[in-house]
Structure 1
Amino acid sequence: MKMDITVFDDFWSLGHFVIGLLAAIFPIAFILFFAYELLEFIYKFPRKEEHIKNFVGDLFEFLIGVAFAKLFLAFLGI
């Protein structure tokens, strides 16, 4: 099964990335982000306002932010 995801497709994508950066420092951001995204998906998916590829894309954008922050912190030796 093949699924294409949509990454960095709108203005909010930058927000997902930035929250990911912050999550590397403030772990509570993980919980808040995933809870928000799950609730948004549950609310919008049945009304066909959000597709699975957008949901997965949002999570991917967030995780890219986390990865960038972790790499940067490792580079600094923190």
Structure 2
Amino acid sequence: MGRCRINGWPPESITTTIVRSGCHIVPKGFKVNPSKHMEWSISFTVHEASIIRLFNMTQKHVYILLKKGSERKFP
């Protein structure tokens, strides 16, 4: 990739691997949509895990808190 990162994170080897390996397309329809069987989502879960392994402990804690917050159902 041609993007310059001043702090060198994530390492260029990781970004190159992620770009070359692509993504997954997964079926994920909106519950109330009658055409939900035709809806798909782009998934980067595998790549997300490889980046998380590079996190220090503080970053992992913040990430977990953010994930839990995004799973909450707000009125």
Query: TM-score surpassing 0.5?
Result: no
TM-score w.r.t. the length of structure 2 is 0.32
Highest relative contact order (Cα 8 Å, sep 6+), 1 or 2? Answer: 1
Higher relative helix content = 1
TM-score w.r.t. the length of structure 1 is 0.31
Higher relative strand content = 2
